[in-house]
Amino acid sequence: MSVVIFVCLAVTLATLVYVFYLPGTLQLGAEKTRLEYLRERKEVIYENLRDLNFEFKSGKFPEADYQSMKNSLEEEAAALLSQISNLEKTARSGDPSRRIRGTTV
């Protein structure tokens, strides 16, 4: 019986080490600017709109649900496009206090 307990403890310990072990150095990706983040988010919303349209045409959503979700995604896309436009104008104007690189997500 003690062998079974020892094996169970060894497997549990090995599992915990495997799951929670962090290597000495972590490789992080490049730091994103606010503008890069907004552009990525815009692409995600556009992809969601395409998926929603496809699923509606295949009959997975009733008309009311489709319109509600579509309007929500379109409103979010419009807000993102407005923010992107404002950040690009700021970057072009050269105002050093509102640089795009200085604002990160």
On whether residue 1 sits in a domain, the answer given is no
Return per-residue pLDDT of the chain as tens, 105 residues: 789 999 999 999 999 998 888 777 777 888 889 999 999 999 999 999 999 999 999 999 999 999 999 999 999 999 999 999 999 998 888 755 544 454 444
pTM: 0.63
Query: Is 34:100 a contact under the CB 8 Å cutoff?
Result: yes
On whether residue 67 sits in a domain, the answer given is yes
On whether residue 9 sits in a domain, the answer given is no
Angle between helix 63-93 and 34-57 (nearest 10): 160
Phi-psi region of 21 (alpha: psi -120 to 50; beta: other; left: phi over 0): beta
On whether residue 82 sits in a domain, the answer given is yes
| Domain enclosing residue 58, as ranges | 29-96
Which among 43, 40, 34 has a CA at the least distance from the CA of 87?
A: 34
CA dihedral of residues 80, 81, 87, 93 (deg, nearest 10): -170
Count of the separate structural domains present in the chain: 1
On whether residue 47 sits in a domain, the answer given is yes
Tokens 């950040």 correspond to what residue? Answer: 87
On whether residue 2 sits in a domain, the answer given is no
On whether residue 16 sits in a domain, the answer given is no
